[in-house]
């Protein structure tokens, strides 16, 4: 019993149909504007096409909606209207039917919701790419959130990635090895569909972050399985709801600082990193704490790679081209001995300047992420990235970039002013440098 297509053929058909329809829409609009000499309202056009993509991806859930989440964090490649529509994939996907939810709980926990819980709200209050979340109350009075995984999501990961890899191989240079990148994504997605692993990570992060104003749920193991996750309920607002309240600059700075500090606290002891930095995974709580509510996508990066990744900051701040080039070669952004020719020079210049932009907050005691010039600079680099038919960068960049770009995206939307002193002290000790 399932609401979703699970075969490779069914899913491929939906993806192909969606791509053809949206592509045709853009081609027809281009020709119409050329003939008439008029430019129609771009905002509504982009929104309607984004809604079409989102509607079809919603049928597929899983990997497809993970792609939609990535679109929602875009910093310049796609029209802003696409990112706005795709942000729904972070926490407000249409839920599956209530009868199916009852059957999943019965199969996984051995009883129907009314038998297991004092109360259970059959209407989901949040839904995203892999599962949806319901409010409930345990018989001992604790308020909990029950996350229920959509049927067949885990089974479709391989078929979805096979399709995606097939498309990618048509675009990349013949002989390029893209397998490590897809293996990294596959391994991470499989872990995200293991709710027992997520429960263990909730416990792990809860113990690590008791000393700062960051709070996580508590895992309720006895009401959890690999496909049902029970955790204590956190009450707060997501980013868009918080911004809609027209918060003061002080409130924006407060939560922005917590996000910034949470990111830097994670790297102190080379432990797991929360690698899904998008608005749906954070709550702005009324008591001033920052809630972190999803721990499906966590990463522990190899020591050598992570050290090199962190070294990007001081190396860029020194603005030493030779040292930057050497580091890029170690991180596989550039080919080894790339200085022997000029083939890689466009990538070197782009990566260096992009790195300089990302290092700017560390050059000031207080950095204003609300400065539109900074936002425009990041968007400029994203749009002007040199095209390549070769995969570049170590496979672990997939998730370090997701963390770092996601953080900056959140802070830009918050228009937060961040004190960087504490973060620079952390990095100084880790890298034995001074700012």
- What is the rounded CA–CA span in Å between residue 193 and residue 201? 13
Are the CB atoms for 334 and 344 separated by under 8 Å? yes
- What is the rounded CA–CA span in Å between residue 37 and residue 31? 10
Spatial CA neighbour of 19 closest among 57, 47, 60, 46:
57
The residues that bridge with 298 in the sheet, in sequence order, are 274
- What is the rounded CA–CA span in Å between residue 151 and residue 1? 8
Enumerate residues 6+ apart whose C-beta is below 8 A from 316: 324, 352, 355, 356, 358, 359
432 given a catalytic annotation = no
Cα dist from 232 to 43, 104, 284, whole Å: 40, 20, 16
Count CB-CB contacts under 10 A for residue 347: 20
**Candidate list 261, 276, 294, 308, residue with the active-site label:** 276
Backbone angles phi, psi at 5, to 5 degrees: -70, 135
Are the CB atoms for 212 and 261 separated by under 8 Å? yes
* Pairing relationship of beta strands 131-137 and 143-149 according to DSSP bridges: antiparallel
Q: Which residues are catalytic?
A: 276
């Amino acid at each position: 019993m399932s609401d979703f297509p699970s075969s490779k053929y069914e899913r491929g058909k939906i993806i192909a149909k969606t791509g053809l329809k949206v592509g045709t829409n853009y081609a027809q609009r281009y020709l119409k504007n050329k003939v008439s000499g008029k430019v129609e309202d771009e905002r509504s056009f982009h929104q309607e096409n984004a809604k079409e993509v989102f509607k079809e991806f919603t049928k597929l859930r899983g990997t497809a909606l993970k792609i939609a989440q990535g679109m929602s964090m875009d910093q310049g490649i796609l029209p802003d209207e696409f990112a706005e529509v795709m942000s729904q994939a972070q926490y407000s996907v249409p839920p599956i039917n209530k009868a199916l939810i009852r059957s999943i709980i019965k199969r996984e926990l051995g009883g129907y919701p009314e038998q297991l819980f004092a109360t259970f709200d059959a209407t989901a209050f949040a839904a995203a790419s892999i599962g949806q979340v319901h409010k409930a109350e345990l018989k001992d009075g604790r308020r909990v959130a029950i996350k229920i995984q959509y049927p067949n999501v885990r089974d479709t990961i391989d078929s979805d990635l096979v399709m995606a890899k097939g498309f990618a191989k048509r675009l990349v240079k013949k002989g390029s090895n893209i397998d490590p990148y897809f293996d990294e994504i596959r391994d991470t997605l499989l872990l995200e569909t293991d709710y027992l692993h997520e429960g263990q990570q909730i416990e792990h992060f809860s113990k690590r972050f008791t000393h700062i104003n960051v709070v996580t749920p508590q895992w309720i193991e006895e009401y959890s399985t690999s496909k049902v996750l029970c955790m204590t309920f956190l009450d707060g607002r997501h980013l868009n709801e918080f911004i809609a309240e027209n918060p003061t600059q002080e409130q924006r700075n407060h939560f922005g600082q917590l996000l910034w500090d949470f990111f830097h606290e994670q790297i102190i002891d080379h432990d797991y990193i929360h690698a899904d930095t998008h608005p749906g995974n954070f709550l702005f709580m009324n008591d001033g704490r920052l809630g972190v509510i999803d721990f499906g996508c966590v990463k522990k990066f190899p020591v050598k790679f992570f050290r090199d990744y962190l070294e990007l900051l001081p190396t860029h701040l020194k603005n030493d081209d030779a040292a930057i080039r050497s580091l890029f070669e170690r991180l596989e952004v550039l080919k080894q001995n790339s200085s022997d020719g000029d083939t890689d020079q466009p990538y070197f210049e782009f990566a260096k300047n992009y790195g300089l932009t990302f290092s700017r907050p560390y050059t000031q005691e207080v950095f204003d992420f609300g400065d539109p010039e900074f936002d425009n600079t990041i968007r400029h680099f994203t749009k002007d990235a040199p095209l390549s038919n070769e995969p570049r960068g170590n496979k672990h960049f997939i998730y370090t970039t997701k963390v770092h770009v996601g953080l900056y995206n959140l802070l830009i939307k918050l228009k937060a002013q961040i004190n960087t002193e504490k973060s620079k002290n952390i990095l100084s000790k880790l890298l034995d440098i001074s700012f």
